[in-house]
Structure 1
């Protein structure tokens, strides 16, 4: 396993992963953006919100590298060639929906922060991007795939929650909806294609019952980690869950506030609900 990926095996049908909470900034990053600005691109503290899960038998996979270095929730074809000093030797995405994120500077390798601040004053070599893929993307996806396969083999089904956080208000270069005030939670299943809709509703209704407002598939439908591993027809259910950062931290200082422990308790109740749910009976 890569030193940039933390993976804890589980015994239950549930797998959690956090691809964007990493804070280990590699020496070869070569980024010119100030660290305090760069750190606001993280899903900061998401790993702390779910730190109870392994003790419940839940598999846990966590990227230790930052998403601005390489985004594990992007496909390998989401290459921004404007960043490179030579043509990319592999396939490049052509789907306009995928390319919209690349144009925003949010491909596999980020070009800008969510506020449009450039990360580099140089071109990246093809070799260094390939190195990031080998050290970060490939072992991360291998760990997620192995955990889901193991859960499915043990129980005949798997439940996978891709764990994220989002700013209270969408930044200028973050999504196609700049300035949007986000709900407390966004449940994404790519319009029912990566999880049984009844399972996504169960998650949303559980959170609503705790007093939160919940949006489904807007503005986040779920990206590569649910697209790649969700297959509800084969009882492999993957959901992306976004948490509004205002619920647990100061977005400017990145310091946890008093809401974090309350939120963690509610996330634990959600995890326990999922552990008690067989999607085959929904």
Structure 2
């Protein structure tokens, strides 16, 4: 039984994936880390709570509780970079987004361990995604795969300045139909939050791998700047300042906007 893999089935033509909301780290890995807090720093904090209304819309959700430091299920399993020439993190990250080392000297995973982690966590996660997409495609001609993410608004190693609130990724238009992109853009723009499409984040491996519009699967990634729903520290994060607690009142407006975004996905799939 894989209690770290959480699948909630719905019947609507929408699958919401949460690849980075997990914070669990096996003890044998945690013992080798510089800092357990540092290892969890880059989680997509509280995203699963932001979207906890998705099952009420009939959406299927797939979530891993395993921390991305153990293995990032949204990276190319071959180890190839999603953003050649730009700073990023790998399949089994050895640094944080800020470039800080995650493992103590000599403790980083070798090729054999990375392969074991792929077998233990990466492959079951994607088997679940494939199974749910197949099930939904048996019921609907069109299915939307929505990748739910978030990141701090300021990460100088990854991007300059302040990230827009909504960062839509469509692999430069290849992972979904232009009408879905336009519908999600309209929902974001109506919220008053800032928005960019295919900017710094164009979609991770999941969006790029499964987005096959000609086969009925339209994949789109949403990277939220955390400040849209939670307080962020003024300077670099520390164990005392990050993450800030989830505050339903603080997150209410963003949740309302995300309701419109997921409804736009459902309207597209049903059209």
Do both share a fold (TM > 0.5)? yes
Residue 147 of structure 1, CA deviation = 1.3
Relative to 1, partners in 2 of residues 1:154 and 1:133: Cα closer, same or farther, differing over 3 Å? same
* Contact map agreement 1:4 1:135 (CA 8 A) in 2: no
Q: Separation in 1 of the partners of 2:148 and 2:194?
A: 17
Please state if 1:70 is matched with 2:60: no
Q: Separation in 2 of the partners of 1:193 and 1:49?
A: 27
* Contact map agreement 1:185 1:215 (CA 8 A) in 2: yes
Residue 127 of structure 1, CA deviation = 3.1
Instruction: Give the aligned partner of residue 197 of structure 2.
Output: 216
Please state if 1:200 is matched with 2:201: no
Instruction: Give the aligned partner of residue 190 of structure 1.
Output: 171
Please state if 1:269 is matched with 2:270: no
Any gaps of 5 or more consecutive residues in structure 1?
79-92
Relative to 1, partners in 2 of residues 1:124 and 1:268: Cα closer, same or farther, differing over 3 Å? same
Q: Separation in 2 of the partners of 1:99 and 1:207?
A: 29
1:116 pairs with 90, 99, 103, which one? 99
Q: Separation in 1 of the partners of 2:171 and 2:163?
A: 18
Instruction: Give the aligned partner of residue 160 of structure 1.
Output: 145
Moved over 6 A (4+): none
Residue 125 of structure 1, CA deviation = 3.6
SS at match of 1:161: strand
Kindly report which structure 2 residues correspond to 1:29-48, keeping only aligned pairs within 5 A, or say none: 29=29, 30-48=31-49
SS at match of 1:113: coil
1:129 pairs with 96, 114, 127, which one? 114
TM-score (norm 2): 0.88
Instruction: Give the aligned partner of residue 238 of structure 2.
Output: none
Residue 76 of structure 1, CA deviation = 1.2
Q: Separation in 2 of the partners of 1:99 and 1:69?
A: 22
1:145 pairs with 107, 122, 130, which one? 130
Instruction: Give the aligned partner of residue 82 of structure 1.
Output: none
Mean alpha-carbon deviation: is it higher for 197-206 or for 186-195? 197-206
Deviations 1:204-258 (A, max 9, x none): 1111111111100010000210111100122210000011100112333322243
* Contact map agreement 1:165 1:242 (CA 8 A) in 2: yes
Q: Separation in 2 of the partners of 1:107 and 1:37?
A: 16
Any gaps of 5 or more consecutive residues in structure 2?
233-240
Residue 98 of structure 1, CA deviation = 4.8
Please state if 1:256 is matched with 2:239: no
Deviations 1:35-78 (A, max 9, x none): 23322210111111111111221100011101111000111111
Q: CA RMSD in A?
A: 1.9
Q: Separation in 1 of the partners of 2:189 and 2:220?
A: 17
Residue 99 of structure 1, CA deviation = 4.8
Relative to 1, partners in 2 of residues 1:234 and 1:265: Cα closer, same or farther, differing over 3 Å? same
Deviations 1:116-159 (A, max 9, x none): 11111224243322221111100111111111121122011111
Deviations 1:247-276 (A, max 9, x none): 112333322243212211221232223223
Residue 188 of structure 1, CA deviation = 0.5
